[in-house]
Amino acid sequence: MTVVSPLHALASRRSMKFLRAPAPKQEELDQILQAAMSAPDHGKLRPWRFVLIRGEAIGRLADLALDAVKRSGDPRMTPEKEKSVRQWMSEVPLFIGLAHKIDHDNPKVPEQEQLLATGAAVMNILNGVHALGYGAFWSTGMGTYLEEVQNALGLDALDYRFLGFLAIGTPGCAVPTVERPDFREFVTEWTGPV
Ligand SMILES: Cc1cc2nc3c(=O)[nH]c(=O)nc-3n(C[C@H](O)[C@H](O)[C@H](O)COP(=O)(O)O)c2cc1C
């Protein structure tokens, strides 16, 4: 049996866009979503919200999102692009809509921190998906920034900030290894005022 260290698991995660069935089984999905609840969260606001979209609802999401993007006049949504997005979405077995519930005017926890807590929760989902041998891809396409899309998902734009979709499933090909930057480029040590 190969034992994978937790750090190796973290370092070997990479996003996979092209996914197909099977999605994580319900029991696995429950575990993955439960892992999101361990995100750091100032004030225990639990700001994260996740909307599961699967089965026939994915076709409905494609209709809703692509119509909204086309109506918005986005020049990138050419007929070819629409066809390829529809094809991509039709193969992905599970999407999760990502949002954070805005606690307006919280005196202790500014919205930025609520957003960060939600980002951390999403990261736990990405790592959980990877740990169980599936793949995922975070996308802010599909009309993420159009109010009508988030409203149609039940996330009133006055109360929720919509953060995109996770596509989740089984990678359509072997997961290639990817070169990551050397952490030293991003780290300094502070020993006193400069
Ligand atoms: C908030 C967020 C939104 C993203 N939206 C898109 C997107 O719409 N389209 C895209 O190609 N990549 C998008 N990405 C990037 C991919 O999800 C992925 O991180 C990237 O391809 C790098 O792969 P890696 O996670 O293996 O480093 C987004 C990433 C984040 C964090």
pLDDT digits (tens, 9 = 90+) for 91-103: 999 999 999 999 9
Label residue 2 by pLDDT band (50, 70, 90). low
> pTM higher than 0.85, yes or no?
yes
- Percentage of the chain exceeding pLDDT 90: 94
How high is the mean pLDDT of the chain? 96
Average of pLDDT values for 25-39? Answer: 98
**Averaged over 82-88, what is the pLDDT?**
97
How does pLDDT run across 100-116, given as a tens digit for each residue? 999 999 999 999 999 99
- Which of 163, 36, 177, 54 is CA-nearest to residue 102? 163
Question: Is the pLDDT confidence value at 1 over 70?
Answer: no
Ligand 1: which residues within 6 Å by Cβ? 14-15, 137-141, 164
- Per-residue b/e over 95-123, b at no fewer than 16 CB within 10 Å? bbbbbbbbbeeeeebeeebbbbbbeebbb
pLDDT mean over 71-81: 94
Among protein residues, the one with the nearest Cα to ligand 1's atom 27 is 14
Going by alpha carbons, the residue nearest to atom 17 of ligand 1 is 138
DSSP SS3 for 163: strand
Query: Does the pLDDT of residue 152 top 90, yes or no?
Result: yes
Q: Which of these, 58, 31, 19, 47, lies nearest to 167 by C-alpha position?
A: 19
Distance 44 CA to ligand 1 centre (A): 27
Decide if pLDDT at 41 tops 90. yes
Above 80 in pLDDT, residue 4?
no
**What is the amino acid identity at position 132?**
L
Task: Indicate which residue's Cα is closest to atom 22 of ligand 1.
Answer: 15
Please tell me the distance from the alpha carbon of residue 142 to that of residue 121, in angstroms, as a whole number.
Answer: 21
Given the candidates 3.40.50.460, 3.40.109.10, 3.40.50.150, 3.30.470.20, the CATH classification of the domain at 23-175 is 3.40.109.10
Q: Which atom of ligand 1 is nearest to the CA of 138?
A: 17
